[in-house]
Amino acid sequence: MPLKEPGKYPVQVGFSAATRRFPHAVDRNRIKRLGREAWRLQKQELYDHLRSESKQIAVFLIYTDKKIAGFSTLKDKISVILKKLQTSI
């Protein structure tokens, strides 16, 4: 999708964790918070690539593991996702 306002944000991202797997809201919130932080620290390269291409994307990440992963694990996985997104655009 072409970028309507070149200076604005080229990516919309959302995070989700299932209530069925994590019945306590504190656990779901922690997963989403860790995911957002890992995304924030690594997103700039994807943003630059999308701006150079004048494109815009929406991404929704769903956490499906049965236990809460550590921040370093989430950061590594989100790094892989960002690289795949960049190569597919």
Number of structural domains the chain divides into: 1
Side chain identity, residue 43: K
Q: What are phi and psi of 24, to 5 degrees?
A: -95, 125
Residues 57-69: b if buried by 16+ CB within 10 A, e if exposed? eeeebebeeeeee
Give a yes or no: residue 64 inside a domain. Answer: yes
Owning domain of residue 19 = 11-88
Q: Could you tell me the pTM of the whole model?
A: 0.84
Give a yes or no: residue 6 inside a domain. Answer: no
pLDDT (tens digit per residue) in 10-44: 999 999 999 999 999 999 999 999 999 999 999 99
With bands split at pLDDT 50, 70 and 90, how would you rate the model's confidence at 77? very high
User: Does pLDDT of 2 surpass 70?
Assistant: no
Give a yes or no: residue 67 inside a domain. Answer: yes
